[in-house]
C-alpha cells in the first residue's frame, strides 16, 4: 500500500505533494538531514544574540524600525509583538486547503536551514498539519513584498495561543484548538517570528492549487472542444501535423495531436470542402489558442517548482560562511508576474469556450435547432446558459488585469516597491472558478448538440466516453429545466477529474 506521507527536505517538494497534503491530508515529517541543517542555523543565531551583534530582525526592529536596537532580554517580546501586530488580515477566510498548503510550504522553506529557527518551533507547525489544526487566515491584506506578512501572521497566531483556528471543522479560539489537538503552544525567541512570516507562502499556496487545477481544465477544454466539433461537423484538416510542425510551439503541437487523437474514428467530423471550406477561429484555431495557454501554464509550473523549494525570508543565515545576509528573497515579484500570466491563460480558455457555446446555440451559425431546444418559443433551451457564460468571461476580463504592475510604498517608504502577488494569485483562482463553469456549460451544450444533430453517426471512442459521463449526470433536455443545477453537477464532475481520467485511460496522457 502506498504511504500517505511526505518527508520534507527543503529541496524535493512537488506540486503533487502540495495537493496530497492540502486536500488529501497526507501527514508530513522533516528529514534527518534537514533537522541537522536547521540546528546548525539556530546555533549560529544564538551565537549572534549572545555576542550582541547588530543583525536586522534579530537584534533590531523591523522595516523602518530596523534603526532601533533590541536587547537580548527583549528579543522574545519583539518576536511575539511582530506576530500579533502584523496579523492585520481582512475579508473572508482562505479555504482550509489553502492554509494547509501555506503551512506546508513554510515548513519546507524552513527545512533548508537558512532561517535560524528552532527545530521545535517548526515541528509545532508539522504537528498542526498532522493533527488538522488549521488557522483561520483572512484572504486580504498582503502586499506580497516583505512576503505575505499578514496572512502568515494569522497562520502563526494559534501557535502562540492567539487568533482562531479550525479543529474538527469547528472554528474556535486558537489556544483551545491547540489544546484539543494535544499540541503545546510556544513562546517565540530571537529571529523566529520573522522566519515564520517573511515569505511568499500565501500567494504560492493559492497559485499552486490553481495551477494544478488548471492542468486538468486545459485537458478538459480539448475534450469539450472535440465534442463541440462533433456537434457542428467540424473540419479536422486544421489539426494536420504538418501544419503545426512548421510553427512548432510546444502547446500548439500537443493540442493539435490531442484533437486528432480525441476525434479519431468519429463519423461526425468532416474534411475540408465536404460541408464547407473552413471553420470559424474558435474551432479552426483550437491548437493555437489552447496551446498558448498550455505553454503559459508550463512556464508558471516551472516557476512554482522553483519557489516551493526556495528560501524566501530575511535575513538569510549562512552559517558555513559565518554570515547573516540581509536581502530581498521575500519579494513576491517572480510569482506575481507568474500568477498574473496564469490568470490570463485560464481566462483565454474560457473566452474561446464561450465562443464555441455561441456557435452551438445560434441558429445563424449552425444547422441545429435554435438555442438547442426542439420547442423554441415555448422553451428557451440554452439561451441564458450562453448569457451566463458571457457574463463569466466578461468578469474574467476585468480580473485578468495584472496586479503585478501596481505598487504602493509602505513602512515609511522603506518598502517602496511591492509585488501584489497574493492579489494576482487570488484573481487567478477566481478566474479558474469562472472558467470551470464556462467549460461545464460547453460540455452540456455540446452533448445537447450531439443529440439534436440526429445523424445516427458514431462519436469517437474517447468523446463517447465523455458524453456518457455527462449524460450520467445530466439527461438530454427535452423541456426547460432548472439549469444552474446542471451546471453544478457538471462542475462537480470536472472537480472529480473523472472525464479526463476516463479519456486518458483510452488515449494515454493528453
SS3 assignment for 125-145: HHHHHHCCCEECCEEECCCCE
The stretch 245-267 carries a mean pLDDT of 98
21 within 8 A of 122, measured Cβ to Cβ: no
Distances (CA, A) of 299 to 250, 296, 338, 345: 12, 5, 8, 11
| Residue 60 predicted with pLDDT over 80 | no
Catalytic residue IDs: 56
Q: Phi/psi at 422 (nearest 5 deg)?
A: -70, -35
Integer-rounded Cα Rg, in Å, for the chain is 26
163 within 8 A of 135, measured Cβ to Cβ: yes
- In the chain, CATH 1.20.200.10 sits at 206-507
Residue given cell 536547521 in the structure block: 38
Q: Phi/psi at 211 (nearest 5 deg)?
A: -65, -40
The rounded distance, in Å, linking the Cα atoms of 458 and 265 is 8
How much of the chain, in percent, has pLDDT values that exceed 90? 85
Q: pLDDT tens digits, residue range 437-454?
A: 999 999 999 999 999 997
Predicted pLDDT of residue 57: 64
The cell for 62 is: 523591523
229 within 8 A of 459, measured Cβ to Cβ: no
- In the chain, CATH 1.10.275.10 sits at 5-199
The rounded distance, in Å, linking the Cα atoms of 43 and 35 is 12
Predicted pLDDT of residue 65: 65
445 within 8 A of 360, measured Cβ to Cβ: yes
The cell for 430 is: 477566481
The stretch 16-22 carries a mean pLDDT of 98
The stretch 200-208 carries a mean pLDDT of 98
Distances (CA, A) of 221 to 228, 242, 249, 282, 467: 10, 23, 18, 12, 14
Q: Phi/psi at 490 (nearest 5 deg)?
A: -75, -30
Q: pLDDT tens digits, residue range 270-309?
A: 999 999 999 999 999 999 999 999 999 999 999 999 999 9
Q: pLDDT tens digits, residue range 162-185?
A: 999 999 999 999 999 999 999 999
From the CB of residue 492, how many other CB atoms can be counted at a distance below 10 Å?
A: 12
The rounded distance, in Å, linking the Cα atoms of 103 and 126 is 8
| Residue 18 predicted with pLDDT over 90 | yes
CATH class of segment(s) 206-507 = mainly alpha
From the CB of residue 63, how many other CB atoms can be counted at a distance below 10 Å?
A: 14
Residue given cell 533537522 in the structure block: 35
Predicted pLDDT of residue 1: 46
262 within 8 A of 507, measured Cβ to Cβ: yes
Length of the chain equals 510
Predicted pLDDT of residue 53: 75
The rounded distance, in Å, linking the Cα atoms of 336 and 318 is 27
Preceding omega of 453 cis (within 30 degrees of 0): no
The rounded distance, in Å, linking the Cα atoms of 470 and 468 is 5
5-199 architecture in CATH? Answer: Orthogonal Bundle (1.10)
Residue closest to 289 by CA, chosen among 220, 350, 208: 350
Predicted pLDDT of residue 231: 97
Ramachandran class of 480: left when φ > 0, alpha when ψ lies in -120 to 50, beta otherwise: beta
The stretch 218-224 carries a mean pLDDT of 98
| Residue 143 predicted with pLDDT over 90 | yes
Residue closest to 445 by CA, chosen among 465, 474, 482, 468: 474
297 within 8 A of 218, measured Cβ to Cβ: yes
Give the residue with greater pLDDT, 152 vs 191.
Answer: 152
108 within 8 A of 29, measured Cβ to Cβ: no
Predicted pLDDT of residue 146: 84
Q: pLDDT tens digits, residue range 183-197?
A: 999 999 988 998 999
The rounded distance, in Å, linking the Cα atoms of 263 and 230 is 8
Most confident range, picked from 41-55, 70-84, 424-438: 424-438
The rounded distance, in Å, linking the Cα atoms of 219 and 212 is 12
Q: pLDDT tens digits, residue range 389-411?
A: 999 999 999 999 999 999 888 88
Amino acid at each position: 500500500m502506498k504511504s500517505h506521507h511526505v518527508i520534507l527536505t527543503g529541496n524535493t517538494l512537488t506540486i503533487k505533494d502540495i495537493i496530497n497534503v492540502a486536500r488529501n491530508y497526507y501527514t508530513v515529517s522533516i528529514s534527518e538531514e534537514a533537522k541537522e541543517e536547521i540546528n546548525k542555523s539556530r546555533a549560529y543565531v544564538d551565537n549572534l544574540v549572545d555576542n550582541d551583534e547588530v543583525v536586522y530582525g534579530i537584534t533590531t526592529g523591523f522595516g523602518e524600525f530596523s534603526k532601533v536596537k533590541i536587547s537580548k532580554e527583549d528579543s522574545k517580546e519583539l518576536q511575539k509583538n511582530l506576530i500579533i501586530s502584523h496579523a492585520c488580515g481582512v475579508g473572508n477566510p482562505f479555504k482550509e486547503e489553502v492554509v494547509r498548503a501555506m503551512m506546508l510550504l513554510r515548513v519546507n522553506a524552513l527545512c533548508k536551514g537558512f532561517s535560524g529557527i528552532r527545530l521545535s518551533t517548526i515541528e509545532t507547525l508539522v504537528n498542526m498539519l498532522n493533527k488538522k489544526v488549521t488557522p483561520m487566515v483572512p484572504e486580504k491584506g498582503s502586499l506580497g513584498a516583505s512576503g505575505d506578512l499578514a496572512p502568515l501572521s494569522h497562520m502563526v497566531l494559534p501557535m502562540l495561543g492567539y487568533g482562531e483556528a479550525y479543529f474538527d471543522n469547528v472554528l474556535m479560539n486558537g489556544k483551545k484548538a491547540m489544546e484539543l489537538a494535544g499540541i503545546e503552544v510556544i513562546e517565540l525567541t530571537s529571529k523566529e517570528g520573522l522566519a515564520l512570516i517573511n515569505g511568499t507562502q500565501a500567494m504560492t499556496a493559492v497559485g499552486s492549487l490553481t495551477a494544478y487545477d488548471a492542468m486538468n481544465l486545459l485537458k478538459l477544454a480539448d475534450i469539450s472542444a472535440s465534442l463541440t466539433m462533433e456537434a457542428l461537423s467540424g473540419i479536422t484538416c486544421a489539426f494536420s501535423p504538418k501544419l503545426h510542425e512548421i510553427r512548432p510551439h510546444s502547446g500548439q503541437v500537443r493540442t493539435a495531436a490531442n484533437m486528432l487523437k480525441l476525434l479519431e474514428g468519429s463519423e461526425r467530423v468532416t474534411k475540408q470542402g465536404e460541408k464547407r471550406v473552413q471553420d470559424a477561429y474558435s474551432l479552426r484555431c483550437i491548437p493555437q489558442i489552447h496551446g498558448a495557454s498550455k505553454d503559459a501554464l508550463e512556464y508558471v509550473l516551472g516557476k512554482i517548482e522553483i519557489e516551493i523549494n526556495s528560501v524566501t525570508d530575511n535575513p538569510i543565515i549562512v552559517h558555513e560562511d559565518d554570515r547573516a545576509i540581509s536581502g530581498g528573497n521575500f519579494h513576491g515579484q517572480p510569482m506575481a508576474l507568474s500568477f498574473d500570466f496564469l490568470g490570463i491563460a485560464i481566462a483565454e480558455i474560457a473566452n474561446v469556450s464561450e465562443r464555441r457555446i455561441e456557435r452551438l446555440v445560434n441558429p445563424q451559425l449552425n444547422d441545429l435547432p435554435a438555442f438547442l431546444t426542439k420547442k423554441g418559443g415555448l422553451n428557451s433551451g440554452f439561451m441564458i446558459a450562453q448569457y451566463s457564460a458571457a457574463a463569466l468571461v466578461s468578469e474574467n476580463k476585468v480580473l485578468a488585469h495584472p496586479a503585478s504592475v501596481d505598487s504602493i510604498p509602505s513602512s515609511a517608504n522603506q518598502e517602496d516597491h511591492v509585488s501584489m502577488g497574493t492579489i494576482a494569485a487570488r484573481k487567478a483562482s477566481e478566474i479558474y472558478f469562472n472558467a470551470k463553469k464556462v467549460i461545464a456549460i460547453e460540455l452540456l451544450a455540446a452533448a445537447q448538440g450531439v443529440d439534436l444533430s440526429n445523424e445516427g453517426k458514431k462519436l469517437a471512442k474517447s468523446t463517447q466516453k465523455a458524453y456518457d459521463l455527462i449524460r450520467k449526470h445530466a439527461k438530454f433536455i427535452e423541456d426547460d429545466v432548472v439549469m444552474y443545477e446542471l451546471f453544478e453537477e457538471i462542475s462537480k464532475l470536472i472537480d472529480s477529474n473523472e472525464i479526463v481520467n476516463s479519456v486518458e485511460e483510452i488515449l494515454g496522457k493528453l
